[in-house]
Chain A
């Protein structure tokens, strides 16, 4: 049921060479590196995905860094991606409406 993310290394190497053009400020200056891989994206963050579940849900996956910060800081650091994932999960999953923010953040982190 779980499968590791394979494309990580492939993407990384593509980024590496394309990244040749990355210089002073990749953001004011659109360079070729932006054309294929906007940045060092989608590096494996230790998740394992199954399709059709929250573990492949873009909103939830985008909240993983914020969830890690939240759990590690015991709620002191609370980013907007986590807030968005809370709203999203509670909209879709009635059971999650009873869960606390702490429980939900941990669940996102464990995906």
Chain B
């Protein structure tokens, strides 16, 4: 075991935590620290010495002021420790100011002694350390020293009790299990919004660093709620803490301009969590489907219940995706871990549309049997991933199925024991069913499943039915729906004005599909021409510049923490950060929209004229059918919605 060592990382931005006395008092819950009167044992021995921890200051070579200041520091540290800490580390720990520590180090836990860097003693003795700003999150140099004493004492306790081996702590900290268990990842990839990157060194340091914040920061409970609960449970005690806001913030990346930049995930409004599986297709990277989680969020004001399943516009999808910062997806990079793997929070409507209408892939959405507190734990974990996780995507070993498994494993402790380690999304669905976690009976009745949103059919499934209806009424020449869609919009146009209501509805669906297909074809064509550098016209170069800017400026959409770079705070963003996020997020979004408009101007000129004509033609056909449906409806004196 390596000695606990606490370095000051150079260049770490100064962070001011709201640790004013007023806040501590204001946030003080019913249980005030019972430690205030515990004797320290080092000086002024109490009448009945407890069996617990004592700190023995080595006073050799110190003057009176130095001894007094040191003693006050140690007393201060002891008053902040949980009672069980004192009894479990039930011995005397010698404390010594040392000249032998590296310049940047505050302290170290040696085999038996706690060392503090003597360089810092003069300022502590003359009182200036209280105001001397440290370049670290604990604000002042004296507070850093206090944190250091707590940190090193934690190392002593950990050596006796091996807290840092606790699997649950490792889950929460981010040394995640591997897909075929028995071992854990050696790297901690929860790198964003860390209070002190030193915590990522190893589990021992993670424990010691987090103990500092658990004991000293009243906001720790709100910023790292799961870890706060873990410490509180271990010590059966918790320090004064702030009142936390309900729900967890997330960056809303939906393309709805009315949407707020920061949304709040409120577990109280989540009726169910579904495993959402997109069916695979014949392409290599999507052959085994895509696994996601769907949050069945109730509309504001609606009590949790089955009706919430129809509040589709409030439902969200948690989807792990590889972030491809290029115009071309490379299978090789997908296999070798070159892409970041990140958790996106998306509106369900966007996900359903993308799969069923653009990619023509169906979706299955199966509720998971979870208790209320398990839903809350899962959302909390998702929020942590959203703000802190920067993993690597590996096509075979760390794909969406593996990431979703890890989210369930780490977010719902009960599921950590279940066998859910498939590396494919369809395999995960099977395991969830076999373990009794997913209720797939909702899929048994196919029509009911479609009506209630347990199944979203791909539009492709509807095409033939629609075309049969249309062909039944009008003697359309093509024998297959593909033939109809392949015909030019101008050839289809003359038929569209002849149809009755039912057939017009069928033709509308087909015409929209034709339009989407034209868009995809034009897109492929543009992409081919864009990537073919030899043929790139000067006009492409203009668009290229805009595209590069979009690439550069849209990274925050996949890594929300980027918006808070340089801001104070760690973990889940709190009040002040949320205000910053709202302003900064809106600014970035507006910037991207501006770029998008410029890009639009550039790309209009690049479209192949024939393709453009087909697009315009399909668009005109859609408009024509819309008008026709209205006319027929009015003529039939149908119900009119105000």
Q: Does A1 contact B (CB under 8 A)?
A: no
- A sample of 21 cross-chain residue pairs with beta-carbon separation below 8 angstroms, ordered by A number, consists of A16-B523, A20-B526, A28-B285, A29-B334, A34-B557, A38-B350, A40-B358, A40-B516, A43-B512, A45-B512, A45-B626, A46-B624, A65-B509, A69-B462, A72-B503, A72-B509, A73-B466, A83-B451, A87-B310, A107-B639, A109-B508
For the complex, give the distance between the alpha carbons of A48 and B623 in Å: 9
| Nearest 8 interchain pairs by C-beta | A46-B626, A80-B453, A110-B633, A72-B506, A19-B523, A25-B286, A17-B603, A35-B554
Number of A-B contacts (CB under 8 A): 276
Task: Give me 5 other A-B pairs in contact (C-beta within 8 A), A35-B592, A73-B469 excluded.
Answer: A8-B619, A25-B285, A26-B358, A27-B355, A30-B344
- Is the CB–CB distance between A80 and B450 below 8 Å? yes
- Is the CB–CB distance between B515 and A43 below 8 Å? yes
Interface flags, A57-90, vs B, CB<8A=1, else 0 = 0111010010111011110111111011001110
For the complex, give the distance between the alpha carbons of A46 and B358 in Å: 19
For the complex, give the distance between the alpha carbons of A8 and B502 in Å: 26
- Shortest beta-carbon distance from B418 to chain A in Å: 24
For the complex, give the distance between the alpha carbons of A16 and B515 in Å: 13
Query: Interface size on B (CB < 8 Å)?
Result: 107
9-residue interface stretch from B36-44, B236-244, B319-327? B319-327
- Shortest beta-carbon distance from A95 to chain B in Å: 8
Question: Known contacts A107-B633, A109-B633, A110-B630: does B312 contact A80 (CB below 8 Å)?
Answer: yes
Question: Known contacts A25-B285, A44-B619: does B629 contact A32 (CB below 8 Å)?
Answer: no
Q: Which of A13, A28, A39 contacts B286 (CB 8 A)?
A: A28
Please name all residues of chain A whose beta carbon is closer than 8 Å to the beta carbon of B623 when the two chains form the complex.
4, 44, 46
- Is the CB–CB distance between A110 and B638 below 8 Å? yes
For the complex, give the distance between the alpha carbons of A28 and B327 in Å: 15
Residue from B447, B451, B509 whose CB has the most chain A CB atoms within 10 Å: B509
Q: Does A41 contact B (CB under 8 A)?
A: yes
- Is the CB–CB distance between A72 and B469 below 8 Å? yes
Interface flags, B384-402, vs A, CB<8A=1, else 0 = 0000000000000001100
- Shortest beta-carbon distance from B425 to chain A in Å: 9
Please name all residues of chain A whose beta carbon is closer than 8 Å to the beta carbon of B465 when the two chains form the complex.
69, 72-73, 76-77
- Shortest beta-carbon distance from B612 to chain A in Å: 10
Please name all residues of chain A whose beta carbon is closer than 8 Å to the beta carbon of B35 when the two chains form the complex.
none
For the complex, give the distance between the alpha carbons of A28 and B291 in Å: 9
Q: Does B640 contact A (CB under 8 A)?
A: yes
Please name all residues of chain A whose beta carbon is closer than 8 Å to the beta carbon of B624 when the two chains form the complex.
46
- Is the CB–CB distance between B354 and A109 below 8 Å? no
Please name all residues of chain A whose beta carbon is closer than 8 Å to the beta carbon of B145 when the two chains form the complex.
none
Task: Classify the interface of chain B: helix, strand, loop or mixed.
Answer: helix
Q: Which of B290, B313, B530, B642 contacts A62 (CB 8 A)?
A: B313
- Is the CB–CB distance between B450 and A27 below 8 Å? no
- Is the CB–CB distance between A19 and B527 below 8 Å? yes
Q: Does B584 contact A (CB under 8 A)?
A: no
Residue from A46, A59, A87, A99 whose CB has the most chain B CB atoms within 10 Å: A46
Please name all residues of chain A whose beta carbon is closer than 8 Å to the beta carbon of B351 when the two chains form the complex.
27
- Is the CB–CB distance between B327 and A20 below 8 Å? yes
For the complex, give the distance between the alpha carbons of A83 and B334 in Å: 39
For the complex, give the distance between the alpha carbons of A83 and B255 in Å: 24
Within 8 A of A (CB), among B230-285: 253-255, 278, 283-285
Please name all residues of chain B whose beta carbon is closer than 8 Å to the beta carbon of A46 when the two chains form the complex.
508, 622-627, 629
Q: Does B106 contact A (CB under 8 A)?
A: no
Please name all residues of chain B whose beta carbon is closer than 8 Å to the beta carbon of A9 when the two chains form the complex.
619
Q: Does B121 contact A (CB under 8 A)?
A: no
- Is the CB–CB distance between A27 and B359 below 8 Å? yes
Q: Does B112 contact A (CB under 8 A)?
A: no
Q: Which of B278, B462, B593 contacts A77 (CB 8 A)?
A: B462
Residue from B311, B355, B639 whose CB has the most chain A CB atoms within 10 Å: B639
- Shortest beta-carbon distance from A68 to chain B in Å: 4
Please name all residues of chain A whose beta carbon is closer than 8 Å to the beta carbon of B502 when the two chains form the complex.
71-72, 74
- Shortest beta-carbon distance from B506 to chain A in Å: 4
9-residue interface stretch from B131-139, B156-164, B543-551? B543-551
Identify the closest chain B residue to A100 (Cβ). B639
Q: Does B342 contact A (CB under 8 A)?
A: yes
Query: Interface size on A (CB < 8 Å)?
Result: 76
Please name all residues of chain A whose beta carbon is closer than 8 Å to the beta carbon of B462 when the two chains form the complex.
69, 77
Please name all residues of chain B whose beta carbon is closer than 8 Å to the beta carbon of A77 when the two chains form the complex.
450, 462, 465
- Shortest beta-carbon distance from A4 to chain B in Å: 7
For the complex, give the distance between the alpha carbons of A40 and B290 in Å: 20
- Is the CB–CB distance between A27 and B625 below 8 Å? no
Identify the closest chain A residue to B358 (Cβ). A39
Q: Does B476 contact A (CB under 8 A)?
A: no
- Is the CB–CB distance between B600 and A13 below 8 Å? yes
Question: Known contacts A14-B597, A80-B312: does B278 contact A27 (CB below 8 Å)?
Answer: yes
Within 8 A of B (CB), among A36-57: 36-41, 43-48, 53-55
For the complex, give the distance between the alpha carbons of A36 and B255 in Å: 6
- Is the CB–CB distance between B600 and A10 below 8 Å? yes
Identify the closest chain A residue to B286 (Cβ). A25
Q: Does B490 contact A (CB under 8 A)?
A: no
- Is the CB–CB distance between B323 and A30 below 8 Å? yes
Please name all residues of chain A whose beta carbon is closer than 8 Å to the beta carbon of B600 when the two chains form the complex.
10, 13-14, 17
Please name all residues of chain A whose beta carbon is closer than 8 Å to the beta carbon of B278 when the two chains form the complex.
27
Q: Which of B313, B357, B459 contacts A59 (CB 8 A)?
A: B313
For the complex, give the distance between the alpha carbons of A108 and B116 in Å: 74
Q: Which of B283, B354, B615, B641 contacts A24 (CB 8 A)?
A: B283
Within 8 A of A (CB), among B590-638: 592-593, 596-597, 599-600, 602-604, 606-607, 615, 619, 622-627, 629-630, 632-634, 638
Within 8 A of A (CB), among B550-579: 550-551, 554, 557-558
- Shortest beta-carbon distance from B181 to chain A in Å: 24
Please name all residues of chain B whose beta carbon is closer than 8 Å to the beta carbon of A89 when the two chains form the complex.
641
- Is the CB–CB distance between B639 and A44 below 8 Å? no
Please name all residues of chain B whose beta carbon is closer than 8 Å to the beta carbon of A111 when the two chains form the complex.
641
- Shortest beta-carbon distance from A90 to chain B in Å: 11
Q: Which of B283, B457, B527, B592 contacts A79 (CB 8 A)?
A: B457
For the complex, give the distance between the alpha carbons of A97 and B546 in Å: 51
Q: Which of A13, A45, A106 contacts B622 (CB 8 A)?
A: A45
- Shortest beta-carbon distance from B266 to chain A in Å: 20
- Is the CB–CB distance between A13 and B354 below 8 Å? no
- Is the CB–CB distance between B550 and A36 below 8 Å? yes
- Is the CB–CB distance between A22 and B523 below 8 Å? yes
Q: Which of B313, B319, B452, B627 contacts A58 (CB 8 A)?
A: B313
Please name all residues of chain B whose beta carbon is closer than 8 Å to the beta carbon of A78 when the two chains form the complex.
447, 450-451
Please name all residues of chain B whose beta carbon is closer than 8 Å to the beta carbon of A104 when the two chains form the complex.
639
Q: Which of B286, B322, B328, B629 contacts A110 (CB 8 A)?
A: B629
Identify the closest chain A residue to B615 (Cβ). A12
- Is the CB–CB distance between B599 and A17 below 8 Å? yes
